[in-house]
């Protein structure tokens, strides 16, 4: 017999395989560049400020850290990095994300329409883990990415959009200094098609 | 060798979904096609495909040795000088390899002709090792195929066995599996491989190529854990150009495939094969640019292939000064080779190509692809096969 005797195998295919969190589902979220974009979407300034500050706090803890400005700029582009305490460089926060249940957001906006007196909506609904910082990297400038370099959404999609729950519900990781990431894979863009097998 | 029509299994699409085989249809085109199958005799399989594959594999290893001891050849293979040490050292250490695939033009009547060797990042592994096997089992059970129908397909068994052997060299270190983001085909392939590795009892992890980091002396995954041993479905020639190319020689990683495979994933191996083993029955005449004239006006016509090309990109077929076919792509700046044109056999109007798999040092199975186009590309359809008689 020229073939395998048995084919039994625990197939990992199609399983999330440890790449994404278990049960990665689509969640709705609000994405804004800054507080202005948030208020112009019809949300109370106070709520926008609060979420922005929360994202900024997370940013200080979670942002990728670099030993030099040059290293940071090689990943995020010219003038896209800031100096912080301890001589460490990190990318600037390019936006923030508030993950909310779709119903919560809709309710908030509905309420705003109904109560004409109130000019802006307050953010209701369940928040996942507070507002999160967003980044835009040099090689993929038109996408928002989270602090773990996970793709979140297109940078054009401000306001309500749908994101993968794993991009919100990640465990913040203390990032180590002078680490670089993403040094492989760029050659792949020079040819069309997504597959590198042959 | 015959092409025979057969009823599709009515439930195969749901089954594919349940097995995570998501790339059976790509860009709206059928990739897996079970409306027909190819039938071989045992003699055709053993004498025409299996034995030549074993022999060609040994020939390739001989050439790796040749290239590693000759700087002018390393240059001709467009391997950057800064990486010579990495490549040659991996060969002198005899770093272990996993697998490879030959592409043959073979129609059952004359010797199989080697079109190319895919020895760095071959795919269509799951379709060959698992899916067509399952198809055969079920069609026999359903009475649509004879009970004695066999298949040249010990691929999965061989992969598991090979992972088990390799494991002995790397006791303790988890094997990282890696591919680029956003290709369900590549992701499916490494997940299948990972399944085989786990079956062999290995500790495994997964990381996307783009997520790999470098930290001091070693590459790290997204958890910042050291990468000590890694399978990459990503070509060496790309790694040599990426930002981390300098780090390659600093980090101590056991790569699968090892760096010496950079010599074999390169079309320059084809003219070198012809130079070293002229008139071998399974080889087509092939020449480097400077000897192009030896083939330019030949009766058979010729195929122009870039040194680096995947999925049939940037190929040109010319005969009698006429362009028969050409494929697009982004390769070619490193130069080309010229190979005698040997048209693929036609079955039911389709051009048929045989992929013959090597695991370790042994030929272990085949997969059949067909296409309307003269050039087999990544969307060419995959059909199952059987052996009868």
8 Å CB contact of B206 and A191: no
φ, ψ for residue A151 (rounded to 5)?
-65, 130
Is residue A123 pLDDT above 70, yes or no? no
- CB within 8 Å of chain A, chain B residues 210-239: 210-216, 220, 222-224, 233-235, 237-239
Is residue A190 pLDDT above 50, yes or no? no
Predicted local confidence at residue B112, as pLDDT: 98
- CB within 8 Å of chain A, chain B residues 172-211: 179-183, 185-189, 191-192, 194-196, 198-199, 205-206, 208-211
Who wins on pLDDT, B208 or A183? B208
Predicted local confidence at residue A111, as pLDDT: 60
pLDDT averaged over every residue in chain A: 74
8 Å CB contact of A196 and B124: no
Please tell me if residue B331 touches chain A, with a CB cutoff of 8 Å: yes
Instruction: Report how far apart, in Å, the C-alpha atoms of A57 and of each of A54, B46, B277 are.
Output: 5, 67, 67
Question: What residues of A are in contact with residue B199 (Cβ under 8 Å)?
Answer: 9-10
Is residue A117 pLDDT above 70, yes or no? no
Q: What is the pLDDT of residues A36-45, one digit of tens each?
A: 998 887 777 8
Predicted local confidence at residue A147, as pLDDT: 86
Predicted local confidence at residue A164, as pLDDT: 79
- The two three-digit tokens of residue B258, written as one number: 């090892």
Query: Span B261-288, mean pLDDT?
Result: 96
Nearest to B151 among A2, A18, A178 (CB): A2
Name the residue with tokens 């056991």.
B254
What is the Cα A34 distance to its own chain's centre?
A: 15
Predicted local confidence at residue A1, as pLDDT: 86
Question: What residues of B are in contact with residue A7 (Cβ under 8 Å)?
Answer: 130, 133-134, 137, 156
Predicted local confidence at residue B366, as pLDDT: 98
- ∠ CA(A153), CA(A156), CA(A159), 5° rounding? 80
Q: Which residues are CB-neighbours of A128 under 8 A, at least 6 positions away?
A: A27, A99, A165, A168, A169
What is the Cα B96 distance to its own chain's centre?
A: 17
Task: Please state the three-class secondary structure of A84-100 as a single string.
Answer: ECCCEEEECCCEEEEEE
Three-state secondary-structure class, residue A187: helix
Q: Would you list the DSSP string of B10-52?
A: TTHHHHHHHTT-TTSEETTEE-B--SEEEEE-HHIIIIIIIHH
* H helices present in B69-172, as ranges: 71-76, 84-92, 125-126, 132-141, 155-167
Is residue A57 pLDDT above 90, yes or no? no
Substitution target in A1, A4, A140 with the highest count of B β-carbons within 10 Å is: A4
Band of pLDDT at residue A17, cut at 50, 70 and 90: very low
DSSP B338: E
Band of pLDDT at residue A130, cut at 50, 70 and 90: low
Band of pLDDT at residue B342, cut at 50, 70 and 90: very high
8 Å CB contact of B213 and A182: yes
Query: Span A140-148, mean pLDDT?
Result: 87
Three-state secondary-structure class, residue A141: strand
What is the Cα B30 distance to its own chain's centre?
A: 21
Question: What residues of A are in contact with residue B180 (Cβ under 8 Å)?
Answer: 185, 188, 194, 196
Cα distance between residue A53 and residue A47, in whole Å: 10
Predicted local confidence at residue B232, as pLDDT: 97
Question: What residues of B are in contact with residue A182 (Cβ under 8 Å)?
Answer: 210-213, 243
DSSP B129: I
Residues facing residue B346 across a β-bridge = B351
Who wins on pLDDT, A129 or A78? A78
Please tell me if residue B99 touches chain A, with a CB cutoff of 8 Å: no
Is residue B337 pLDDT above 60, yes or no? yes
The most confident of the ranges A95-99, A136-140, A179-183, B77-81 is B77-81
| Burial profile B279-318: b = 16 or more Cβ within 10 angstroms, e = fewer | ebebbbbbbbeebeeebeeeeebbbbbbbbbbbbbbbbbb
Predicted local confidence at residue B120, as pLDDT: 95
DSSP A74: H
Band of pLDDT at residue B65, cut at 50, 70 and 90: very high
N-to-C CA span, chain B: 11
Q: What is the pLDDT of residues B226-267, one digit of tens each?
A: 999 999 999 999 999 999 999 999 998 999 999 999 999 889
Band of pLDDT at residue B378, cut at 50, 70 and 90: low
Cα distance between residue A99 and residue A105, in whole Å: 10
Please provide the size of chain A in residues. Answer: 198
8 Å CB contact of A179 and B209: no
The most confident of the ranges A136-150, B284-298, B324-338 is B284-298
Cα distance between residue B257 and residue B119, in whole Å: 8
Question: What residues of B are in contact with residue A74 (Cβ under 8 Å)?
Answer: 243
Cα distance between residue B321 and residue B43, in whole Å: 39
Question: What residues of B are in contact with residue A186 (Cβ under 8 Å)?
Answer: 242-243
- The two three-digit tokens of residue A69, written as one number: 């400005």
Question: What residues of A are in contact with residue B22 (Cβ under 8 Å)?
Answer: 13-14
Predicted local confidence at residue A159, as pLDDT: 73
Q: What is the pLDDT of residues B140-181, one digit of tens each?
A: 999 999 999 999 999 999 999 999 999 887 767 899 999 998
8 Å CB contact of B192 and A13: yes
Substitution target in B186, B209, B226 with the highest count of A β-carbons within 10 Å is: B209
What is the Cα A83 distance to its own chain's centre?
A: 22
User: In chain A, which residue's Cα lies nearest the Cα of B217?
Assistant: A179
Question: What residues of B are in contact with residue A193 (Cβ under 8 Å)?
Answer: 311, 313, 378
- CB within 8 Å of chain A, chain B residues 255-314: 265, 310-311, 313
Q: Would you list the DSSP string of B228-295?
A: -EEEE-S-HHHHTTSGGGGGGGTS--EEES-TTHHHHSSTTHHHHHHHHSTT-TT---EEEGGGTHHH
- The two three-digit tokens of residue B23, written as one number: 């790339």
Band of pLDDT at residue A188, cut at 50, 70 and 90: low
Cα distance between residue B245 and residue B225, in whole Å: 20
Question: What residues of B are in contact with residue A137 (Cβ under 8 Å)?
Answer: none
pTM of this prediction? Answer: 0.74
Question: What residues of B are in contact with residue A196 (Cβ under 8 Å)?
Answer: 121, 179-180, 183, 186, 233-235, 238, 310
Q: How far is A160 from chain B (nearest CA, A)?
A: 24
Who wins on pLDDT, A191 or B128? B128
Single out the residue of B276, B241, B357 nearest to residue B67, CA to CA.
B276
Who wins on pLDDT, B305 or A88? B305
Counted across chains A and B, CB pairs separated by less than 8 A come out at 193
Cα distance between residue A117 and residue B135, in whole Å: 67
User: In chain A, which residue's Cα lies nearest the Cα of B18?
Assistant: A14
Q: How far is B85 from chain A (nearest CA, A)?
A: 20
Predicted local confidence at residue A127, as pLDDT: 44
Is residue B216 pLDDT above 70, yes or no? yes
């Amino acid at each position: 017999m020229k073939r395998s005797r048995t084919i039994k195998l625990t197939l990992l295919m199609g399983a999330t395989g440890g790449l994404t969190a278990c049960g990665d589902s689509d969640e709705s979220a609000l994405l804004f560049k800054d507080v202005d974009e948030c208020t112009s979407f019809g949300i109370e300034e106070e709520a926008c400020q609060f979420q922005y500050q929360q994202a900024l706090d997370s940013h200080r803890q979670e942002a990728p850290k670099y030993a030099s400005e040059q290293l940071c700029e090689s990943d995020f582009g010219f003038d896209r990095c800031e100096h912080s305490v301890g001589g460490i460089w990190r990318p600037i926060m390019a936006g923030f994300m508030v993950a909310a249940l779709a119903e919560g957001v809709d309710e908030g906006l509905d309420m705003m329409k109904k109560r004409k007196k109130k000019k802006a909506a307050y953010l209701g609904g369940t928040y996942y883990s507070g507002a999160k910082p967003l980044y835009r990297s040099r090689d993929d400038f038109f996408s928002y990415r989270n602090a773990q370099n996970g793709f979140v959404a297109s940078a054009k999609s401000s306001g309500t959009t749908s994101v993968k729950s794993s991009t919100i519900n990640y465990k913040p990781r203390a990032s180590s200094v002078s680490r670089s990431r993403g040094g492989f894979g760029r050659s792949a863009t020079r040819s069309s098609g997504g597959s590198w097998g042959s | 060798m015959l092409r025979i029509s057969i009823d599709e299994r009515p439930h195969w699409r749901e089954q594919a979904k349940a097995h995570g085989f998501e790339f059976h249809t790509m860009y709206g085109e059928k990739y897996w096609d079970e409306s027909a199958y190819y039938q071989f005799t045992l003699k055709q399989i053993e004498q025409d495909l299996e034995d030549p594959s074993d022999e060609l594999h040994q020939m390739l290893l001989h050439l790796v040795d040749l290239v590693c001891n000759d700087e002018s050849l390393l240059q001709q293979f467009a391997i950057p000088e800064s990486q010579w040490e990495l490549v040659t050292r991996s060969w002198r250490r005899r770093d272990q390899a996993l697998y490879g695939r030959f592409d043959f033009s073979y129609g059952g009547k004359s010797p199989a002709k080697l079109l190319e060797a895919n020895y760095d990042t071959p795919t269509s592994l799951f379709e060959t090792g698992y899916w067509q096997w399952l198809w055969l089992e079920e069609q026999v059970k359903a009475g649509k195929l004879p009970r004695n129908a066999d298949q040249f397909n010990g691929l999965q068994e061989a992969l598991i066995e090979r992972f088990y052997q390799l494991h002995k060299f790397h006791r303790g270190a988890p094997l990282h599996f890696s591919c680029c983001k956003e290709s369900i085909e590549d992701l499916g392939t490494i997940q299948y491989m990972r399944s085989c590795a786990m079956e062999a009892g290995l500790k495994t992890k997964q990381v996307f190529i783009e997520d790999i980091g470098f930290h001091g002396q070693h590459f790290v995954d997204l958890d910042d854990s050291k990468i000590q041993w890694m399978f990459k479905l990503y070509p060496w020639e790309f790694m040599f150009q990426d930002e981390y190319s300098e780090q390659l020689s600093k980090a101590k990683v056991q790569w699968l495939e090892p760096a010496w495979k950079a010599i074999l994933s390169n079309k320059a191996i084809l003219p070198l094969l012809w130079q070293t083993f002229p008139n071998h029955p399974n080889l087509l005449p092939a020449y480097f640019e400077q000897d192009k004239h030896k083939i330019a006006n030949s009766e058979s016509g010729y195929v122009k292939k870039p040194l680096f090309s995947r999925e049939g990109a940037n190929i040109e077929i010319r005969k009698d000064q006429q362009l028969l076919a050409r494929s697009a792509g982004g390769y070619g700046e490193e130069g080309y080779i010229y190979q005698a044109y040997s048209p693929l056999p036609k079955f039911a109007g389709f051009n048929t190509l045989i992929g013959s798999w090597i695991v370790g040092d042994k030929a272990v199975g085949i997969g059949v692809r067909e296409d309307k186009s003269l050039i087999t590309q990544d969307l060419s359809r995959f059909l199952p096969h059987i052996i009868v008689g």
